[in-house]
Structure 1
Amino acid sequence: MLQKKRRFKANQSQEADGLKVAVYVVEQGGDWEARISLNMAVDQLWWTGRETNVPGWNRQPADRIVLLSRSLPLGWAVKLATACRFTGKMQHWDEAAWSRGAAALLKAEIRAEQAAGGGRGRDWPFEEVEMYRLVGAKGYGGGEEGSVDWGDGRSEWTGEWMNEHGNERTNARVDRRISEKADERVNGRRNERESEWTGGRMYGHGNERTNARVDRREELAAGADRLAEALAGRSLLQGEAEALVAEQLPELAGNWLAAAQLAYLQGRLRLEAAVCGTAGAALGLRRREVLRCLRCGSVPTGRTACAACGLAGCAYCEACLALGRSRACALLLRSAPLPAVRCTAGVAPTVTARRWGLSAAQAAAAAAALGFLAEPRKRSAAGGPERFLLWAVTGAGKTEITFPLLEAALAAGGRALIATPRRDVVLELAPRLAKAFPADVPAVLYGGSEDRWSRSRITLATTHQLLRFNQAFDLVIIDEIDAFPYHNDPMLAYAARQVCKPEGAFIYLSATPPVELQRLARFGRLPHARVPVRFHGYPLPVPRHVQMQPLNRCLKQGRLPKRLLQALQHSIDRKAQIFLFVSRIAHIDGLLLLLRRMYPNLTIEGTSSKDPARAGKVLEFREGTISLLVTTTILERGVTVPHSDVFILDADSGLFDEAALVQMAGRAGRSKDDPAGNVIFASAEWSRSQRAAISQIRRMNAMARRQGYFKS
């Protein structure tokens, strides 16, 4: 018996690696449904309804099974299972009719594959459709026990005849050919097929596999429970799921696909093709199908011959290739979503301020957001979770404002996510969250994180990590929605929408929201709250303009303009840490040589996204070891240096939009001990972006003054 079990596992592994699955339709109590299978032995136990004393197993036997294919490319099988529509006439279908119906739904795929040189004959891939009845089932035709009504061969799946051309001559030829093929099958194997499905005909290996599975049914049900729990809220490719199982559930490592199949039959997991069509095939629509990557939402542009599924043209996604190849034959496992939780009541600003030590402006914004969370959730017109914008100036303390929101979500029994674009911001926020919520230490996710499979009620992640979740969270807080790489990246926007439960809530955080969100807020179409003042209660520093030639010309001449040098000297004299922003990495080295010659007693360094020592230099700058740091926009946000001034050279560059200028200016004046830091826009032209940035800063200051938030 041990030898037989080992043989079964080897066969199962081979099938899984081949990324081909079985697909069948099942009749139960007059209702039909289509299913795919990673392990048909599990489906056999499920649909026979045996061993009803084991929890987690189907207890109502099926009447009939029609096995359309034992080994179909995953993408094709998923489409077939989701696209077929069932009618009463199917009660009378024979193998030929089922074969034509299945082929019709995959007509586009079959044609494309044949055009690419694939295919294995005119009946491919449904040469071996097999029909089975179970104990107590009615006859195939719905009449006397054992009687068969083979029907007229007309398909009810699409309402069309199942040939390509639709003319009578072709109809007659196709019907005659399929009828002959069906007669040959029926005469040779009808008696075998009318034996019970549990007789082993389904697999070709007798009862050995099934008996082994029956003996382990309790263990398999327990394995399905553990796997479904570990995959809750996840969206993982097969390789990622295998890594999770190896680390978290090593006892399932040799047989986890069987557990996944049982969880799928139980409705607790969804088995998807990572790349699949999004047109209304299931609705019978005729518009052209569009392939999309279910992981990132992109439209795949690549096709290649695939040894795994055997197709000559297997589609794959290039947009998220760095996270593992998502392709039409790649298994994507997703958990079934759970209902979202909702906060029951808002909290008064004074209570919030006292609990978390918030300023009046912070507490008012938090109370408004809590009131939003307490409202009954409904699907928005855009078809996603409800959204709320928290528009807070740089240095307002957005992280602290989210603490009451996280507390409310956790108190209601929910799960919360904070997503931010950059790894360094994640690492900075992690200890602050752990200190604020010691009973729920957050799972911290970024590339190479050790917490990748950790489960916590609070998750802190870079936005790319969201691609591995699906409808997992009741509350999703997206920080810095205007920042790279989230801004203008449809893939990450798609990922953010996918991680929130349909009846959950989104909180957007930003000091410089995208124009579209600003417009929606202004016209009352987006619930929002503004925090127009920093936590210390002093105005935002308003930038001053200094006229200068383009930086590249200054570097060629070997000198900087006098007014800029005067402003720099003022910052040096007051011992400020100086951010000196430039628009291009190529300018950094030349500017360093010039500045070091002019200020030999000052510690001056430069850094950019290409600098491997960036993290160390930023740390030294924060600690005061470095006095002046020449940098690009990589430090425009997420870095707080208490006693600092900001200089932006070539501020009229097209690379510096309004949001970037506001964020860079926001590095100054963040400390209550030095709230009036200096900000200089140095440029040859007075650009629209500079005017807009200064206008936005002044508007926020005016709003804070009107609302009485400034310290007297």
Structure 2
Amino acid sequence: DPGPRWRRARAPRCRRCGSEVHRRTPCGSCGSRGCAYCEACLALGRSRSCALLLRGSNAGTVPPRAGGGTAAGLAPTGSLLDRWGLSPAQRSAAGQALRFLAHAQEAPLPGAARGNRALPLPLRRSFSRQKESSARPPRFLLWAVTGAGKTEMIFPLLRYALDQGGRVLVATPRRDVVLELAPRVARAFPEEPMAVLYGGSPQRWEEARLILATTHQLLRFHYAFDLVVIDELDAFPYHNDPMLGFAAEAACKPEGRFIFLSATPPLRLQKEIRAGRLPHAKVPARYHGSPLPVPDRIKAASVELCLRRHSLPPALLRPLRQSVQRGAQIFIFVTRIRQIAAFTELLRSYFPGIRIEGTSSTDPGRNEKVLAFREGRIRMLITTTILERGVTVPKSDVYIVDADSALFDEASLVQMAGRSGRSKDDPNGKVVFAAPTWTRSQRDAIRQIRMMNAAAYKNGFLKVKEVQ
């Protein structure tokens, strides 16, 4: 008996976002009592199994600008790097990325000219790894420590792609980062029309060759860009969201190229690097040439216990007072939103002479508080991981309480620690891991920071002679 011949029916997939579709409803268009539609990308309009998915065709690249050069004749590691004022570490990494782009243009993907690349299908587990990787445009990772100046490093790459007549996309997971990047990119490319896309953006119908967008906006494009730059690919919501990964690949032309930016790349990408499958460049030093602050470990009671006792442990109180005395802006990261208000009041009882506030993703006044913190009107800010990225405050110290929590993985700890020492005027800020126990995530975070410092020292990127 060969056994049953039936197989479990596979759920249909949305051709727009790649998600499995499990919702079926009666449809007035086709008359079906169970017409499938996708809930994952419903914000872009209903995608039904009976409806056509319309995609506009791309007009193709325009001729290179006069003086822009061609891939064969341009030496991208020379003049393209000179105008941006890059540090030695930034210049080295940007040069490697430029060589990747130039080589990729000289050797296009097999079949790219015929346009016969299969649709990007990262969600179809039945495909072999080799077949899946061959369907993707070549990728390059810029692995740069927090505060290394990743934005400045991509300027030569954008200039190169635009000079070749290409269309360029810079995507980042969060709207506030897009709005922060927009004026910096506009100043760097004043002659280039730019569109900035996010939920509610007024520019969504404007034509431009340089586009800044949140990653969700990638669902609106199909084979539209010659260069796609994904910033903070390890951050929510892009990280672990197959739909956004699908959208990113679908937005890139078959002969296009990807540049990934991250301070804490996901483990799968680190494995690809070790296996030699992912070209990359490391930037182990910040632009000011000082090492990353290595966190100090403090054994201290948990936040919950401190709140029950209405007291702070002396081991935590001493460094906090030192930070206040030296005039630092102080980040205090906690694990739970519900702890913020009570912990803020507890800290106010110990430091009545300074302004202390708390904020989180549910706080309607978060933007105003972050601005006041940046300007020094707030001296101590208690928050969650909502501020672990994208916030630069001069002369800041970082305290991570309950650092042993499972909610703080290695990447989160490295990102939070990276809020300190970012300014050239105060490059040696303090970072403290405060927790009752010592965890693997804390050890791995400190090991990664020390590894980057050692690499920066070895390559001559640091101005100091000693590294912790």
Question: Given the alignment, which residue of 215, 233, 236 partners 1:463?
Answer: 215
- Is 1:650 aligned to residue 402 of structure 2? yes
Question: Given the alignment, which residue of 302, 312, 325 partners 1:550?
Answer: 302
**352-361 vs 520-529, which deviates more?**
352-361
Task: Tell me what 2:188 maps to.
Answer: 436
Task: Tell me what 1:378 maps to.
Answer: 109
Task: Tell me what 2:125 maps to.
Answer: none
Provide the rounded CA distance (Å) in 1 between the counterparts of 2:157 and 2:355: 43
The answer to whether the Cα contact below 8 Å between 2:76 and 2:98 also exists between their aligned partners in 1 is no
CA shift, 1:428, in A, is 0.4
Question: Given the alignment, which residue of 517, 540, 562 partners 2:292?
Answer: 540
Q: Secondary structure of 1:293's partner? A: coil
Question: How large is the RMSD of aligned CA atoms in angstroms?
Answer: 1.8
Task: Tell me what 2:257 maps to.
Answer: 505
Question: Given the alignment, which residue of 24, 29, 35 partners 1:303?
Answer: 24
* Structure 1 portions without partners, runs of 5+: 1-285
Question: Given the alignment, which residue of 454, 457, 467 partners 1:705?
Answer: 457
CA shift, 1:535, in A, is 0.5
Question: Once the two structures are aligned, what percentage of the paired residues are identical?
Answer: 62
The answer to whether the Cα contact below 8 Å between 1:346 and 1:370 also exists between their aligned partners in 2 is no
* 1:495-644 equivalence runs, <5 A: 495-644=247-396
Provide the rounded CA distance (Å) in 1 between the counterparts of 2:60 and 2:101: 15
Sort the Cα spacing of 1:343 and 1:603 in 2 relative to 1 into closer, same or farther, 3 A.
Answer: farther
Task: Tell me what 2:124 maps to.
Answer: none
CA shift, 1:295, in A, is 1.6
Task: Tell me what 1:62 maps to.
Answer: none
- Is 1:326 aligned to residue 47 of structure 2? yes
Task: Tell me what 1:354 maps to.
Answer: 82
CA shift, 1:339, in A, is 5.8
Letter in 2 for 1:555: L
Provide the rounded CA distance (Å) in 1 between the counterparts of 2:350 and 2:404: 25
Provide the rounded CA distance (Å) in 2 between the counterparts of 1:705 and 1:350: 25
Task: Tell me what 1:665 maps to.
Answer: 417
The answer to whether the Cα contact below 8 Å between 2:334 and 2:401 also exists between their aligned partners in 1 is yes
After superposition, the C-alpha distances for 1:175-222 in whole angstroms (9 at most, x for unaligned) are: xxxxxxxxxxxxxxxxxxxxxxxxxxxxxxxxxxxxxxxxxxxxxxxx
Relative to the length of structure 1, the TM-score reads 0.58
After superposition, the C-alpha distances for 1:643-681 in whole angstroms (9 at most, x for unaligned) are: 101000111111111001000000000000100000000
Letter in 2 for 1:458: L
CA shift, 1:325, in A, is 2.3
Provide the rounded CA distance (Å) in 2 between the counterparts of 1:488 and 1:289: 22
Provide the rounded CA distance (Å) in 2 between the counterparts of 1:309 and 1:575: 68
CA shift, 1:335, in A, is 2.1
Provide the rounded CA distance (Å) in 1 between the counterparts of 2:370 and 2:364: 12
The answer to whether the Cα contact below 8 Å between 1:481 and 1:510 also exists between their aligned partners in 2 is yes
Q: Secondary structure of 2:151's partner? A: helix
Question: Given the alignment, which residue of 667, 677, 684 partners 2:436?
Answer: 684
Q: Secondary structure of 2:83's partner? A: helix
Provide the rounded CA distance (Å) in 2 between the counterparts of 1:368 and 1:652: 38
CA shift, 1:505, in A, is 0.2
Question: Given the alignment, which residue of 202, 205, 212 partners 1:450?
Answer: 202
Provide the rounded CA distance (Å) in 2 between the counterparts of 1:455 and 1:632: 38
Letter in 1 for 2:98: L
Task: Tell me what 2:97 maps to.
Answer: 369
Number of residues of Structure 1 aligned to a counterpart in Structure 2:
427
Task: Tell me what 1:472 maps to.
Answer: 224
The answer to whether the Cα contact below 8 Å between 2:330 and 2:379 also exists between their aligned partners in 1 is yes
The answer to whether the Cα contact below 8 Å between 2:77 and 2:99 also exists between their aligned partners in 1 is no
Task: Tell me what 2:66 maps to.
Answer: none
Task: Tell me what 1:150 maps to.
Answer: none
Letter in 2 for 1:529: A
Provide the rounded CA distance (Å) in 1 between the counterparts of 2:43 and 2:79: 46
* 1:220-259 equivalence runs, <5 A: none
The answer to whether the Cα contact below 8 Å between 2:80 and 2:160 also exists between their aligned partners in 1 is no
Task: Tell me what 2:139 maps to.
Answer: 387
Which structure has more relative contact order (CA 8 Å, sep 6+)? It is 2
Provide the rounded CA distance (Å) in 2 between the counterparts of 1:290 and 1:555: 49
The answer to whether the Cα contact below 8 Å between 1:340 and 1:503 also exists between their aligned partners in 2 is no
Provide the rounded CA distance (Å) in 1 between the counterparts of 2:75 and 2:324: 46
Provide the rounded CA distance (Å) in 1 between the counterparts of 2:146 and 2:314: 30
Letter in 2 for 1:336: S
The answer to whether the Cα contact below 8 Å between 1:377 and 1:386 also exists between their aligned partners in 2 is no
Q: Secondary structure of 1:390's partner? A: strand
Task: Tell me what 2:14 maps to.
Answer: 293
CA shift, 1:467, in A, is 0.7
- Is 1:494 aligned to residue 246 of structure 2? yes
Q: Secondary structure of 1:400's partner? A: helix
Q: Secondary structure of 1:298's partner? A: coil
CA shift, 1:510, in A, is 0.2
Sort the Cα spacing of 1:580 and 1:289 in 2 relative to 1 into closer, same or farther, 3 A.
Answer: closer
The answer to whether the Cα contact below 8 Å between 1:546 and 1:682 also exists between their aligned partners in 2 is yes
Relative to the length of structure 2, the TM-score reads 0.88
After superposition, the C-alpha distances for 1:287-338 in whole angstroms (9 at most, x for unaligned) are: 9564111121101110001223322111011222233322223442112356
Q: Specify which structure has the higher proportion of helix.
A: 1
The answer to whether the Cα contact below 8 Å between 1:352 and 1:358 also exists between their aligned partners in 2 is no
Task: Tell me what 2:169 maps to.
Answer: 417
Provide the rounded CA distance (Å) in 1 between the counterparts of 2:307 and 2:73: 60
Provide the rounded CA distance (Å) in 2 between the counterparts of 1:328 and 1:691: 50
* 1:49-60 equivalence runs, <5 A: none
Provide the rounded CA distance (Å) in 2 between the counterparts of 1:348 and 1:457: 20
CA shift, 1:462, in A, is 0.4
The answer to whether the Cα contact below 8 Å between 2:330 and 2:381 also exists between their aligned partners in 1 is yes
* Structure 2 portions without partners, runs of 5+: 1-6, 63-69, 111-129
CA shift, 1:550, in A, is 1.6
Provide the rounded CA distance (Å) in 2 between the counterparts of 1:653 and 1:331: 48
CA shift, 1:449, in A, is 0.6
Flag the structure with larger Rg. 1
The answer to whether the Cα contact below 8 Å between 1:646 and 1:665 also exists between their aligned partners in 2 is yes
The answer to whether the Cα contact below 8 Å between 1:349 and 1:360 also exists between their aligned partners in 2 is no
After superposition, the C-alpha distances for 1:18-73 in whole angstroms (9 at most, x for unaligned) are: xxxxxxxxxxxxxxxxxxxxxxxxxxxxxxxxxxxxxxxxxxxxxxxxxxxxxxxx
Task: Tell me what 1:26 maps to.
Answer: none
CA shift, 1:350, in A, is 5.5
